[in-house]
Amino acid sequence: MYNNLNELRTECLSCQNCKLCEGRTNVVFGVGNPNAKVMFIGEGPGEQEDLKGEPFVGRAGQLLDKMLYAVDLDRHKNIYITNIVKCRPPHNRDPEEDEQTACIGYLRAQTRLLRPKIIVALGRIAGMKLINPQLRITREHGIWTYTKGIWMMPMFHPAAILRNPNQTEEAFRDFIGLREKINEVCPEVYSTENS
Ligand code: URA
């Protein structure tokens, strides 16, 4: 058991639970407000994230930050961002099942410590792991489910939006839906103490 995110991070930084530890520059644990009520979960670090040790700092991350900003969310103020796997899969391939299984304990522990009211799964891989193994992201993005006290929604991955810009409008609609859900279940996210 861990008392706080820093203790958990320290443990995670020396993890050798799967083969991804062999190629990493940095473990990418997570970034954000340790009291955040809204968590964003991607699939795994890419090259820039591995180099910097922070999730979503490459091109996709820059787009994510812009979309967050549009609904008054900020990784350094009122949300927390992490990934299903904390180490970069080689050549940006999808994280394999055994790697996800080896790493999921860290995500569960992060979730237990943060106790979010809302989780946004960024992309198909995170959506399948967290919401529904059969998830079809093109059909089910933006749809809320409620499980064990947490509202969950899959969204398009920002890298997918970069590849396919005609998804931008739908993606923005999902962010507007997110803002509405925040106002409904945890409006304190937008209170001044968090900004
Ligand atoms: N894609 C992800 O899923 N996570 C990151 O941290 C970066 C890119």
Whole-angstrom distance, CA of residue 21 vs CA of residue 26: 9
Q: pLDDT tens across 97-130, in order?
A: 999 999 999 999 999 999 999 999 999 999 999 9
How far does the centroid of ligand 1 lie from the alpha carbon of residue 78, in Å?
Answer: 19
Q: What is the pTM of this model?
A: 0.97
Our CA angle for 186, 40, 153, nearest 5°, is 70
Mutate to test the pocket of ligand 1, among 122, 156, 162 (most ligand atoms within 8 A of CB): 122
Residue 51 CA, ligand 1 centroid: distance in Å? 13
pLDDT tens-digit map of 18-67 = 999 999 999 999 999 999 999 999 999 999 999 999 999 999 999 999 99
- Among 100, 103, 88, 93, CA closest to 46: 88
Count of CB atoms within 10 A of residue 90's CB? 9
Buried b / exposed e over 169-188, threshold 16 CB at 10 Å, is eebeebbebbbebbeeebee
pLDDT at 187 over 70: yes
Ligand 1 within 6 A of CB of 82:
no
% residues pLDDT > 70 (the chain): 98
- Measure 168 CA to ligand 1 centroid, in angstroms: 18
Q: State which ligand 1 atom lies nearest to the alpha carbon of 55.
A: 6
Assess whether the C-beta atom of 56 lies below 6 angstroms from ligand 1.
Answer: yes
Please compute the mean of the pLDDT values over residues 141-155 and round it to a whole number: 98
Distance CA 70, CA 64 (A): 10
